[in-house]
Each structure stands twice: as C-alpha cells, then as structure tokens.
Amino acid sequence: MSDKLRLDDLQSDGGLFAPTRPLHQVNQVQEEHRQSARKPMEANGSLMADGAEVAIKTIDISLGGLCIRAATQLAVGKQYPLSFDLAVAGGIRRVALTIDVIYCFHTAERDFKMGVEFINPAPAVADEIRQFVGFASE
C-alpha cells in the first residue's frame, strides 16, 4: 500500500480539495471499491447537465462504469443521461445510458476528471460493454 497522496484520492466541495479519509485508508477503499477490471478507451461522448449538452472524453471503461473528462464540473451523487462511442463488432456505435457520478475533481489540465457508474443499462448495451471489456456474455 502506497502512502503517496494522489489527486484521485481527493474530493472538492467547490473550494479546496481535501482527503475524504485518512491516507492509510484511501488505497484500501479504492481496492475494495473496484469490482471489475478497467480497459483503456479513448472515445467522444456527451451528457446533459442542467439542460445543456456537455462534451466528454472517456479515459477507461469497466463493466460497471467509466472514467471521463469534461470541461464542466458535475455533482457527485447526481445522475445524468450519457452517450458515447463504443467499438462494437462491425464498427463504432453510439450507446446511451444513465450514469451516477461517484467522484469529480479539477485537474492540472483545467478540466474535470470523473468516475461514473452505469445505472441499469439496457441489456443490449450491457452486452456490448461486456464484449468490449473482454468478458463473455452471460
């Protein structure tokens, strides 16, 4: 377990960033929280926040969610409709689903990095994500 503090370990209340728990617990919580492997995925997408379309870029994907970047800060714990490009058999398909924001922080690149969880994706979308990530369909 590393004692280094990373930006991923911080949360913001709109002001200064601060660790949400003691440093020795941060890595333990991250290890316990991840339920499936992540696969790097750079793709474009968008979501609707307060009636405005927000462009996003994906960083990675898992069976349960995405890591994304956007110029707009999203509220942790709030749900948003999201769509993004996913490589599927035969090409690229735009998939749409609802996400819940798990964490959000400001980056050195002056945008926001967010971890989002999929909320009840349609079976066809869940199958496409499962295939992309590398798991056989159940």
Whole-angstrom Cα Rg for the chain: 15
Residue 16 sits at φ, ψ, to 5 deg, of: -80, 150
Residues 70, 21, 17, 56: what is their CA dihedral angle, to the nearest 10 degrees? Answer: 0
Please give the model's pTM, rounded to 2 decimal places. 0.72
Cβ atoms < 10 Å from Cβ of 92 = 10
Q: How far apart are CA 121 and CA 33, in angstroms?
A: 20
User: Which pLDDT belongs to residue 48?
Assistant: 96
Q: How does pLDDT run across 80-93, given as a tens digit for each residue?
A: 999 999 998 889 99
Domains along the sequence of the chain with CATH:
1-33 (no CATH), 38-133 (2.40.10.220)
User: Which pLDDT belongs to residue 38?
Assistant: 87
Phi and psi based region of residue 77 (left: phi greater than 0; alpha: psi -120 to 50; beta: remaining): left
User: Which pLDDT belongs to residue 15?
Assistant: 39
Spell out, as residue ranges, where the chain has pLDDT lower than 50: 1-32, 136-138
Task: State how far the alpha carbon of 3 is from the alpha carbons of 9, 11, 24, 60, 74, in Å.
Answer: 11, 18, 7, 24, 28
Q: How far apart are CA 9 and CA 105, in angstroms?
A: 9
- DSSP code at position 43: -
CA 114 to chain centre: 5
